Amino acid sequence: MIKSLPTVLFFATWALLVGAVPLVVGLFLSGTFEPDAVRAAFPHLHISETLSPMWFAVTILVGLVPWAVGLWVLYQMQALFALYRTDRALTLDAAHLIRRIGTGLLVLAITHVVTNTLQTLVLTSANADGERVLAVSFGTPQIGFILAAGLMVVIGRSMIEAAKAVDDMRGII
């Protein structure tokens, strides 16, 4: 059972990576990124009718940044599961991947905060003076995400030191 779980996770991450591109293309084709859909996605904001289509495009592109970071993290996870499938869980490569995953999750948490702030700023940029909004949202979900990411980084660093020690011991024996 233990050996089959990394295999399942390897193929699941592969499927998510491959499926991400058609999903984004499908969302574009379905009109999900049209100005009215963007307005509906931000019901708490008053978005001026004079906001140019270019700013809606900027909002969409900014919103895709967390997707890109998430896909990179997913790719690192797939590489880690590939090592686990071949019984190389306690190697220096696996330790580096764990640390990279933790770093990527930390970047993802920060990216979400920055992205939401930028999208709010861009969408209200055409509003009259006094109606523009700059909202920074940072709460319990981001704190939990950052703590989990930090834990992954610490575990990765510890595993790097352990793997180096094992390699040194192999050289002695």
Q: What is the pLDDT of residues 11-52, one digit of tens each?
A: 999 999 999 999 989 988 888 888 888 888 888 888 888 888
Q: Please tell me which residue, 124 or 135, carries the higher pLDDT value.
A: 124
pLDDT bucket at 2, cuts 50 / 70 / 90: low
Distance of alpha carbon 92 from alpha carbon 95, whole angstroms: 5
Q: How confident is the model at residue 128, as a pLDDT?
A: 87
Q: How confident is the model at residue 109, as a pLDDT?
A: 92
Query: For helices 140-172 and 92-123, what crossing angle results, to 10°?
Result: 160
Global pTM reads: 0.84
Kindly report each contact of residues 139-144 with a partner whose C-beta sits within 8 Å and lies 24 or more positions away, as own/partner.
Answer: 142/109, 142/112, 142/113
Distance of alpha carbon 6 from alpha carbon 20, whole angstroms: 21
Determine contact, residues 37/59, Cβ cutoff 8 Å.
no
Distance of alpha carbon 80 from alpha carbon 124, whole angstroms: 42
Report percent pLDDT > 70 for the chain: 98
pLDDT above 60 (res 143): yes
Per-residue pLDDT, averaged over 130-135, amounts to 85
DSSP secondary structure string for all residues of the chain: -TTHHHHHHHHHHHHHHHHHHHHHHHHHHTTTTSHHHHHHH-TTS---TT--HHHHHHHHHHHHHHHHHHHHHHHHHHHHHHHHHTT-TTSHHHHHHHHHHHHHHHHHHHHHHHHHHHHHHHHTTTSPTT---------HHHHHHHHHHHHHHHHHHHHHHHHHHHHHHHHH-
Mean pLDDT across the chain, nearest whole number?
90
pLDDT bucket at 1, cuts 50 / 70 / 90: very low
Per-residue pLDDT, averaged over 157-163, amounts to 90
By mean pLDDT, which of 20-24, 141-145, 151-155 is the weakest?
Answer: 141-145
pLDDT above 80 (res 96): yes
Q: What are the φ and ψ backbone dihedral angles of 87, each rounded to 5 degrees?
A: 55, 35
Q: How confident is the model at residue 16, as a pLDDT?
A: 94
Q: What is the pLDDT of residues 49-86, one digit of tens each?
A: 888 888 988 999 999 999 999 999 999 999 999 999 99
How crowded is residue 58: how many other Cβ atoms within 10 Å of its Cβ?
Answer: 16
